[in-house]
Structure 1
Amino acid sequence: TSLERAAAVIRKADRPVVLAGAGVIRSGASDELRRFAEGLGIPVAHTLMGKGSMPWTSPMSLLTIGVLPGDYDLAGFNESDLVICVGFDFVEYDPRSWNPRGDRRIVHVDSLPAEISVHYVPEVEVTGEIAESLRLLRERIGKPRESAWAQRTRGQILKRLQSDVDARAEDRLKPQRIMWELRDILTPDDLLISDVGAHKLWLGRFFRTIKPNTVVISNGLSAMGIALPGGIAAKLADPDRRVVTVSGDGGFLMSVHELETAKREKTATVNLVLRDGGLGSIRWKQMARFGRTEGTEFGNPDLVALAAAFGIRGLRVERPSDLNSVVTEALESTGPIVVDVPVDYGDNPFLAPGT
């Protein structure tokens, strides 16, 4: 059977790694994925849309992969000899990025058959309910493997992230610092919704996720402006849950009119707006490719005053040391609130692999 063949391939691999996608969360298979990984000593890297499928605190967690096309080396994929794709969709992380030669051995575990391409040809497909497939595979593989490689890789990832946060200047609000501190401010059950822009890449890498269904990131089509209306919808669906949205100023202004909806519907969301006066991601990519920018800068209204014009309270972070206290104050609000957070995207080039 496909289960027996998949189990045999995984047993023979020296350094298998799991690539977990959004399907793990949507199918409710996160707990079984953790048992599979920790029980067998197989590390897990998750996509941006798969954040929360594996808690970052697990010794088998390699955190997020797919922030940029070539960052598979950060999660040890360059050293692995087998990729076990679980609940994974092409739109989450193009296989051309992590399997450019098309020669990686792949086991596909999903509720749907694999979508085949030159860069994604599974050796074995296990099609069925994801959690049950993982349980049956775990039973058939049986013996856990020695996990020194996984521990070393995880240690390198955490060291790199922590050193990047620690090295940020105290007088500038860097996105690494913002995303790292947000994890310390929010509870494991709070819902974080990300808009699309440069901040999404930093959030994907530096916001450490503990539980499934606690981070929503628009990827694939990557629709700018999703965070504010998405936060309203989330609060209407689950009024007792704290909801925080993170937008760039570009994405926020694309749907700022929805502040009227938030006011009218009394949806108590905290809307963080990372303000840099431009389209940070596009600016960075234009500089990298052309050495100049075009059409990426714009002026902002006073975001606190703009919120007030909608009858909504606004707060502003003035210094890095204010972030914790201002966001904590915002979370106590009984209505929607806008938090203006100036951000310095000067480190965007360092997101690229090898920098």
Structure 2
Amino acid sequence: MTQREKKSLTGADVIVETLEARGVTHVFGVPGAKIDKVFDRLLDSSIQTVQCRHEQNAAFIAGGIGRLTGKAGVAIATSGPGVSNLVTGLVTANSEGDPMVALGGAVAVADRLKSIHQTLNSVEVCKPVTKYSAEIDSPGATSEVLSAAFRAAESGRPGAAFVSLPMDIVTGEAKCAPITLSTFVGDGPAPERSLREAARLINSAESPVILLGLMASKPQCGDAIRKLLSMTTLPVVGTFQAAGAISRELFPCFGGRVGQIANQPADTLLESGDVIITIGYDAVEYWPSLWNGGRDRAIVHVDVMPANIENDYVPAVELIGSIEETLSALSSLLHRSQLAQSSARLLRLIAEDRQRLMKEAATKSGVPIHPMRLISELQNMLTPDVTVCSDMGTCSMYLSRYLFSFRARQILISNGQQTLGVALPWAIAASIVRPHEKVLSISGDGGFLFSANELETAVRLKSHLVHMVWIDGSYDMVGAQEKLKYGRTSGVKLGPVDTVKYAEAFGATGLFIQRPEDIAPALRNAFETPGPVLIGVRVDYSDSVKLFERVHESAII
């Protein structure tokens, strides 16, 4: 009998060994009495435990790990409010298609119906915001439930999973061993009959247009899209989360990004299509009623999941399976050697408009600094070794629309729930996954304080990241929309925060940009400085209301 066989394993042992078997290298969380046995066992494992300052941010970091690697990141929290604090991170990951598994402590199984300290039906709390939510309610079920959670989080359209860990299950003797899941699970291409029907629709169309969604920005999908477009000629637009799917060489065929409100030049190109090919698209990114409302045109839906049918999204054909294998099979069936005249004209006008806009942006010299001048400077420094994480707010509208990337998952954007506070936690995730790259996260002064406490976590980890705060003293994105609706603002004004002193209080480096010509030197200095750097910059959002105004197509035609 081996030494291992002599020693009985606890539930916590099996949990930690299962995480190791899944290739987990880090867990992020906040400890507590109901989950401390797992924290204790993690000390003796190969996994690094990262204590966070709030469970919500732990979930954001885990979701960021999932988006960047394709493998589930792991967050861990104690019972009661520890679990409920995870919920915003769970729903964000689930909406964004980011694989993550959250582990939550719980009272003993025998006490779960009693009114005692930190009792919470956490499974039911998390069920609406996850793909999978379950409790391990017997010593023999530990491996099964954990394995099911990882499979749910990583398969199909990825998302969040939650596992409740009752204290007696965790501390008691386990009656199971870790389960090793097959690494050869995956879908093949869509059926040939569906592929041929899709090809028929696209080949016979007058002006088909591709709409890329969040799954298109996965590196494997991005490669398949680029191969497809190298073999056939089609115009492309993308949602915010599809950033980076199109290569620089294919940029002339790219009309731009769409989302939130149908007022972009790319919306005109999307409007012109008589057949729309959606690739990896989820309606949560850009509501079909905004871009297809009242339209009678064929939609080809390419995804790992069947479409959610609604009045304005009823595909003529669905290509369900591996996106990359489906696109590979479809490409050989398509025969379009040139763009439709209408598409070519619109793309030419969009390119001219884009060039004019960026030329004007580079000359904006006012103080406070115009967001487009910041975009111009950021575009110049966005080399392939830079990762950008965008928070939600007016800053994200500028970044999503005007900052272009040619590398899959180089720019991380929240568009499903549009959650405030994700940028800094995602940057911490990026600094772990891509330790030799430059990492830049950007937030407004409203979103910054939703997760600014994790600056201490970044300092402790010696994360090489730069976080930039665009300061205007308000929730400007909300205020701009209120002005359009009611002619005035309400509940949006904020007090000042000294970002330099804030950084120094946590042991980070603080910088402040005073003038437009200081942007590039400040960023270079920040990237050369070891550890986290916080940069503040006052911005002029006087034009931000224009982001939400509807623009008639004659604006670019």
TM range (shorter): over 0.9
Task: Give the Cα–Cα distance (whole angstroms) in 2 for the partners of residues 327 and 46 of structure 1.
Answer: 28
Which range moves more in the overlay, 23-32 or 235-244? Answer: 23-32
* 1:261-281 deviation line (CA, Å, top 9, x unaligned): 111111111001001111110
Q: In the TM superposition, what is the alpha-carbon distance from 1:65 to its structure 2 partner?
A: 1.4
Task: Give the Cα–Cα distance (whole angstroms) in 2 for the partners of residues 321 and 164 of structure 1.
Answer: 19
Runs (5+) with no aligned partner, structure 2: 1-192
Task: Describe how 1:1-355 pairs up with structure 2 within 5 A.
Answer: 1-26=193-218, 28-55=220-247, 57-58=249-250, 59-71=252-264, 74-168=267-361, 169-172=364-367, 173-351=369-547, 352-354=549-551
Which range moves more in the overlay, 34-43 or 77-86? Answer: 34-43
Instruction: Find the residue that maps to 2:510 and give its secondary structure.
Output: strand
CA change 1:146–1:228 in 2 (3 A) is closer
Task: Give the Cα–Cα distance (whole angstroms) in 1 for the partners of residues 471 and 375 of structure 2.
Answer: 14
Is this contact kept in 1: 2:256–2:265, CA < 8 A?
no
Is this contact kept in 2: 1:102–1:120, CA < 8 A?
no
Q: In the TM superposition, what is the alpha-carbon distance from 1:164 to its structure 2 partner?
A: 3.0
Task: Give the Cα–Cα distance (whole angstroms) in 2 for the partners of residues 213 and 85 of structure 1.
Answer: 19
CA change 1:155–1:331 in 2 (3 A) is farther
Is this contact kept in 2: 1:286–1:292, CA < 8 A?
yes
Q: In the TM superposition, what is the alpha-carbon distance from 1:21 to its structure 2 partner?
A: 0.8
TM-score (norm. length: structure 1): 0.95
Runs of 4 or more off by more than 6 Å in structure 1? none
Amino acid at match of 2:229: A
Instruction: Find the residue that maps to 1:154 and give its secondary structure.
Output: helix
CA change 1:347–1:226 in 2 (3 A) is same
Runs (5+) with no aligned partner, structure 1: none
* 1:286-326 deviation line (CA, Å, top 9, x unaligned): 11101111111111121111111111111111111111111
Task: Give the Cα–Cα distance (whole angstroms) in 2 for the partners of residues 60 and 34 of structure 1.
Answer: 11
Which range moves more in the overlay, 221-230 or 178-187? Answer: 178-187
Is this contact kept in 2: 1:56–1:63, CA < 8 A?
no
Task: Give the Cα–Cα distance (whole angstroms) in 2 for the partners of residues 348 and 160 of structure 1.
Answer: 19
Is this contact kept in 2: 1:70–1:98, CA < 8 A?
no
Q: In the TM superposition, what is the alpha-carbon distance from 1:56 to its structure 2 partner?
A: 5.0
CA change 1:67–1:39 in 2 (3 A) is farther
* Identical aligned residues as a percent: 34
TM-score (norm. length: structure 2): 0.61
Task: Give the Cα–Cα distance (whole angstroms) in 2 for the partners of residues 167 and 50 of structure 1.
Answer: 26
Instruction: Find the residue that maps to 1:240 and give its secondary structure.
Output: coil
Amino acid at match of 2:304: S
Task: Give the Cα–Cα distance (whole angstroms) in 2 for the partners of residues 91 and 56 of structure 1.
Answer: 27
Task: Give the Cα–Cα distance (whole angstroms) in 2 for the partners of residues 251 and 152 of structure 1.
Answer: 40
Equivalence for 2:45:
none
Structure showing greater radius of gyration is: 2
Amino acid at match of 2:222: S
Q: In the TM superposition, what is the alpha-carbon distance from 1:72 to its structure 2 partner?
A: 6.8
Which structure has more relative contact order (CA 8 Å, sep 6+)? It is 1
Task: Give the Cα–Cα distance (whole angstroms) in 2 for the partners of residues 21 and 56 of structure 1.
Answer: 18
* 1:82-135 deviation line (CA, Å, top 9, x unaligned): 110001011111111101114232111111111110010001111111111112
Task: Give the Cα–Cα distance (whole angstroms) in 2 for the partners of residues 350 and 97 of structure 1.
Answer: 18
Which range moves more in the overlay, 35-44 or 305-314? Answer: 35-44
Is this contact kept in 1: 2:272–2:343, CA < 8 A?
no
Which range moves more in the overlay, 35-44 or 148-157? Answer: 148-157
Task: Give the Cα–Cα distance (whole angstroms) in 1 for the partners of residues 426 and 264 of structure 2.
Answer: 28
Is this contact kept in 1: 2:194–2:319, CA < 8 A?
yes
Is this contact kept in 2: 1:27–1:130, CA < 8 A?
no
* 1:215-235 deviation line (CA, Å, top 9, x unaligned): 110111111011111111221
Task: Give the Cα–Cα distance (whole angstroms) in 2 for the partners of residues 69 and 161 of structure 1.
Answer: 17
Q: In the TM superposition, what is the alpha-carbon distance from 1:75 to its structure 2 partner?
A: 4.8
Task: Give the Cα–Cα distance (whole angstroms) in 1 for the partners of residues 301 and 320 of structure 2.
Answer: 8
CA change 1:146–1:285 in 2 (3 A) is closer
Which range moves more in the overlay, 227-236 or 115-124? Answer: 227-236
